[in-house]
Amino acid sequence: MSKQINLTIDGKQVQAAEGTNLIDAAESVGVHIPNLCYLKGMRGIGACRLCLVDVEGGKAPVVGCITKVKEGMVVNTATEKLQEMRKFIIDLILSMHPLDCMTCTKAGVCNLQQYAYNFEVKESNFTRKKFGYPVDEANPFIKRDPDYCILCARCVRVCKEQGTNVLDFMGRGVGAKVATAMDKPLQESECTFCGSCVDACPVNALLEADRWRKGREWDYIKNNSVCLSCGNGCDITVSSKDGAVVKINSGSAEGSVEKYICAIGRFGFESLSSDARVTTPMKRVNGSLQETTWKEALDLVAEKLNKADGKTGIVSTAGILNQDAFILSKLAAEVIKTKNIDTTASLYADVDSMKFSDSVDFDAADVIVIAGLNPSQWERTLPALDAGIRRRVSRGAKLIVLNSGNTRIASEASISVQADEALTLAQIAKALIDKGRKAGKELTDAVSGLSVTEDIEKAAEMMVKAAQPVVFCAPSLFNASRNLSLLLDIKVVAVPAEANARGVVAMGLTTEGKTYKEMTSGEVDVLYAIGELPLTKRPNVGFLIAQTSYMTDLAKQADIVLPAATYLESEGTVTGYLGKNKDVKMVISPAGDSKQHKDIFIQLSKVLGAALKETAEIKSANEVSKPKFIPFEKKKGLDSSPADIIEGTNASVINHSKLLWLKEALKAGV
């Protein structure tokens, strides 16, 4: 823990960690220092000057966003003179800001509105300035209205820090404008429509495109939940109104590098109410799927499962909740009595990598190694990992990229080794041993014959010097990467492609019979398929049960379809790739007759004659095991790329929301 500093802010005793700025320190005791350009976690720029505070003994006021706490400091944040100056600045900003709070969507959460209220600036005392910039609303995601912009540069800095680097200032002073390169519309820039800028904007200059008259902040019910679209499982804050989701924002703590969600997480919710949803059970009658009742459907499923006589298989996505997975594994073992149960996680991850990955504080990582992974915001494969790493690098962390192919993130790396990853890891181990790190005989022998290049030498040096080195690796490289933890204190995390891969493995959804690949290639008679599986063709099985939220290609070919709730309609927990258990909230009630996965399993167990109960306590997923040496090899058979899995499991969401526009636009090469 870093050194604690004692100071006084507005007469209150404050204790803050060394290096904390005055705004954060004041916030910790409930004193708000006004600011418009400050963004927690990022270096202050002192542009808006609202956070100027008096420090006793100082000559002139100092800016709270940059000034760090000092022992014995006495700070006054709201002297009459300071307040008058703040009022002056708000007054100036208001003179160039439309005064249409009565129809403004941002009313209620607009910082400028709040400060104008606090400082009693009803109308600007200065000359009204109007710019008349064109509004950029050519894309269906983000609306940019520069007339509202107060030039705080938050969006510009957020975009730059996470490496997207689309927005910047054009011109300077009052006439400046936030624009893309050559002032092109967003879709013609490199914008990924992640919407980080929307979350950062303090006013109405950047907004979700379709928000007009869909209610304002005080109309919404807000819930913190988790996005389960990909392996990053980002925190989200979901706003709903009248039983429908209106918008989704990033929900991670202010200032955390994890504060990012991609376009799928932010804008994919439209698919919840699309006609692709399955809202009633369906069964195949004379070759076509027809609506039926839950009773009839479950009776039929039970009958088929009973008749299958051991030739039953259950496959699921790894995007279901821990509670779902827990009951499913019980259902398989105790009720259906089959060992053929597996998840899509087996396509890209082995059990070890999911069970023994470390828990990591991303914000503390100062040397990050990524092995065999190619996260990309632009392709939306593990985009939050990409953004998070770039943010950490912007904040001073070092990045080492080990990949046999080309990666875009390599441009951010201090060291990038483009060679076989397992070999490189072994070479790093060798370099570490050469530096005097102690290792067991097995490990020493395994790497003894290797040569070490200058880059690998440097990489090893970096890891040794780091306070908290972290390896993010492809699950297939987990064992190879984990050998490094025999040599130094390093955290190793295998990054799965799906949000709850660590959870479903911990809940026991790993096969002791047939694997996912075997089952989906027709080695069972009755296949119970759960979730939106990355399959488009019906496996060659006698009877196919599809339990899904959307009418996927697979569901269309099923014999029976059970409507399941989506993750925004379910309640439970997931285990994120960083090892943290996260709460998933039921934000809206399940559409139509659909039910949560676990409820369907419980109902089904009743019909099968052995009623399961929902157990309240679900133990955390993390298992701790002492690492031991395993040869430096890339594990075979885990060849499904995260990109394919993410595309496959999210196909329904993408094709039935405005994300389709983005997909088409990318194809068209706009």
Partner 1 sequence: MTEETTQVKMEDVQAKADAKKCPVQRSLVFVEEFLAGPMCGKCFPCSMGSYEARVRLKRIVDGSASEEDIEKVNTISSHMLVASMCKRGKDTAKYVQEHIGSSEVAEHLSGLCAKHECVEHLKYIIVPENCTMCGDCLHACKDNAILGEKKKPYLSGYTPFEIVQKRCTKCGECMKVCKYDAVKLISAREMVEKEPVKV
Q: Nearest approach, Cβ of 489 to partner 1 (angstroms)?
A: 42
Nearer to partner 1, 148 or 629 (CB): 148
* Residue placing its CB nearer to partner 1 in the complex, 151 or 297: 151
Long-range CB contacts (within 8 A, 24+) of 441-446: 442/629, 443/483, 443/486, 443/487, 443/629, 446/629, 446/631, 446/632
Cβ pair 426, 473 in contact under 8 A: no
Q: Which is nearer to partner 1, 6 or 79 (CB)?
A: 79
For partner 1, the binding residue among 2, 13, 103, 127 (CB under 8 A) is 127
Work out whether 121 is an interface residue with partner 1 (CB under 8 A).
no
> Segment contacting partner 1 (CB under 8 A): 92-100, 223-231, 569-577, 620-628?
92-100
State the minimum distance, in angstroms, from the CB of residue 37 to partner 1: 8
Residue 212, judged by CB atoms within 10 A of its CB (0-12, 13-18, 19+), counts as exposed
Q: Give residues 235-294 in contact with partner 1 (rule: CB under 8 A).
A: none
Q: Which is nearer to partner 1, 173 or 609 (CB)?
A: 173
Q: Indicate left, alpha or beta for 243 from its phi (over 0: left) and psi (-120 to 50: alpha).
A: left
Q: Judged by CB under 8 A, which stretch of 3-11, 123-131, 339-347, 648-656 contacts partner 1?
A: 123-131
Q: Report the site for partner 1 in 289-318 (rule: CB under 8 A).
A: none
Q: Residues in contact with partner 1, total (CB under 8 A)?
A: 28
Instruction: Between 95 and 404, name the residue whose CB sits nearer to partner 1.
Output: 95
122 sits near partner 1 (criterion: CB under 8 A): no
- Number of Cβ within 10 Å of residue 624's Cβ equals 8
Q: Which helix (H) or strand (E) holds 426?
A: helix 421-434
Closest to partner 1 by CB, 122 or 613: 122
459: tokens are 């990489």
The strand pairing partners of 473, in sequence order, are 371, 494
In 3D, which of 315, 215, 361 has the Cα closest to residue 533?
A: 315
Q: How far is the CB of 153 from partner 1 (least distance, A)?
A: 9
Angle subtended at Cα 224 by Cα 220 and Cα 228, rounded to the nearest 5 degrees: 115
Nearer to partner 1 (CB atom), residue 49 or residue 395: 49
What minimum distance in Å lies between the beta carbon of 46 and partner 1? 6
Among 93, 385, 551, 662, binds partner 1 (CB under 8 A): 93
Give residues with Cβ within 8 angstroms of 172, minimum separation 6. Answer: none
| C-beta closer to partner 1: residue 160 or 585 | 160
User: How far is Cα 578 from Cα 339, in angstroms, rounded to an integer?
Assistant: 29
Spell out a b/e string for 628-644, using b for 16 or more CB atoms within 10 Å of the CB, else e: ebbebebbeebebebbe
- For strands 572-575 and 491-494, give the pairing: unpaired
- For tokens 């006084």, the residue is 8
Question: In the complex, what is the shortest distance from the CB of residue 19 to partner 1, in angstroms, rounded to a whole number?
Answer: 22
Q: Could you give phi then psi for residue 85, rounded to 5 degrees?
A: -70, -40
Residue 429 sits at φ, ψ, to 5 deg, of -60, -40
CA–CA dist 39, 30 (Å, integer): 17
Stretch that binds partner 1, among 86-94, 471-479, 602-610, 618-626 (CB under 8 A): 86-94
Residue window 545-564: x/- pattern of binding to partner 1, with contact defined by CB under 8 A: --------------------
Minimal distance in Å, beta carbon 94 to partner 1? 10
In the complex, the smallest distance separating the C-beta of residue 51 from partner 1, rounded to whole angstroms, is 11
Judged by CB under 8 A, which of 29, 92, 651, 660 binds partner 1? Answer: 92
Q: Do β-strands 367-371 and 398-402 pair in parallel, antiparallel, or remain unpaired?
A: parallel
Question: Judged by CB, which is closer to partner 1: 17, or 85?
Answer: 85
Three-class HEC string of 298-347: HHHHHHHHHHCCCCEEEEECCCCCHHHHHHHHHHHHHHHCCCCEEEHHHH
| Residues of span 347-386 touching partner 1 by CB under 8 A | none
Nearer to partner 1, 95 or 641 (CB): 95
User: Least distance (Å) from partner 1 to the CB of residue 174?
Assistant: 4
Q: Taking the complex as a whole, how short is the minimal distance between the CB of residue 131 and partner 1, in angstroms?
A: 12
Shortest gap between Cβ of 171 and partner 1 (angstroms)?
8
- Closest separation between CB of residue 113 and partner 1, Å? 17
Residue 617: CB minimum distance to partner 1, A: 53
How buried is residue 653: exposed, middle or buried, by Cβ count under 10 Å (0-12/13-18/19+)?
Answer: buried
Pick 13 or 127: Cβ nearer partner 1: 127
Least separation in angstroms between residue 150's CB and partner 1 is 8
Rounded to the nearest 5 percent, the helix, strand and coil shares of the chain are 35, 20, 50
96 contributes a contact to partner 1 by CB under 8 A = yes
> Which residue, 68 or 339, has its beta carbon nearer to partner 1?
68
Taking the CA atoms of residue 294, residue 297, residue 300 and residue 304 in that order, the dihedral angle to the nearest 10 degrees is -110
Shortest distance in whole angstroms from residue 10 CB to partner 1: 20
What is the pattern of x (binds partner 1, CB under 8 A) and - over residues 33-62? ------------xxxxxx-x-------xx-
Segment interacting with partner 1 (CB under 8 A) among 90-98, 245-253, 486-494, 630-638 = 90-98
Which CB sits closer to partner 1, 160 or 311?
160
65: tokens are 């966003």
Least distance from C-beta 117 to partner 1, angstroms?
19
Q: Within 583-641, where are the H helices?
A: 597-607
Indicate the residue among 92 and 643 with the shorter CB distance to partner 1: 92
Relative to beta strand 572-575, strand 581-584 is antiparallel
Report the residue number, 147 or 366, with the smaller CB distance to partner 1: 147
Binding partner 1 by CB under 8 A: which of 4, 125, 290, 540? 125
CB of 154 or CB of 380, closer to partner 1: 154
Report the site for partner 1 in 130-189 (rule: CB under 8 A).
Answer: 151, 169, 172-174, 176
| Closest to 565 in 3D by CA, of 333, 225, 338 | 225
The gap between the terminal CA atoms of the chain, to the nearest Å, is 49
- Identify which of 184, 164, 148, 81 has the alpha carbon closest to the alpha carbon of residue 156: 164
Amino acid at residue number 106: K
Distance of CA 235 to the CA centre of its chain: 6
CB of 39 to partner 1, least distance (A): 16
Give the footprint of partner 1 on this chain (CB under 8 A).
Answer: 45-50, 52, 60-61, 81, 84-85, 88-89, 92-93, 95-96, 125-127, 129, 151, 169, 172-174, 176
